[in-house]
Amino acid sequence: MSKNEFQKKLKTEKINTGEYIIVVDYLTDEPLVMGCTQQNEVWKIYETKQRGGHFIIKELADEYAAFDYFYQLLLSRHNYLIQS
């Protein structure tokens, strides 16, 4: 899915991400962020922890593949949180 489709789907489905904030326009080192952004023609899915600093979960060349992967990652977190 595209970035716009992802953002619409995230709003309509009300996915619970717990403490995490979702960022899709830039890479940040702010604490508790899950994000997807493009740098140098590569889409990077990343996460930050409580004390900040980011780590890359996955890099993909295609926007649609990146946001599909990112959505599935958030959905699995959502499912984990509602089962807890």
Query: What's the pLDDT at 76?
Result: 93
Tens-digit pLDDT profile for residues 19-59: 999 999 999 999 999 999 999 999 999 999 998 899 999 99
Query: What's the pLDDT at 83?
Result: 85
Query: What's the pLDDT at 57?
Result: 97
What band does 82 get if pLDDT is binned at 50, 70 and 90?
confident
Q: CA–CA separation, 71 vs 84, rounded Å?
A: 20
Which residue's structure tokens are 């958030």?
Answer: 74
Query: What's the pLDDT at 81?
Result: 87
Per-residue burial over 8-25, b if 16 or more Cβ lie within 10 Å, else e, is eebeeeebeeeebeebbe
> In angstroms, how far is the first alpha carbon of the chain from the final one?
29
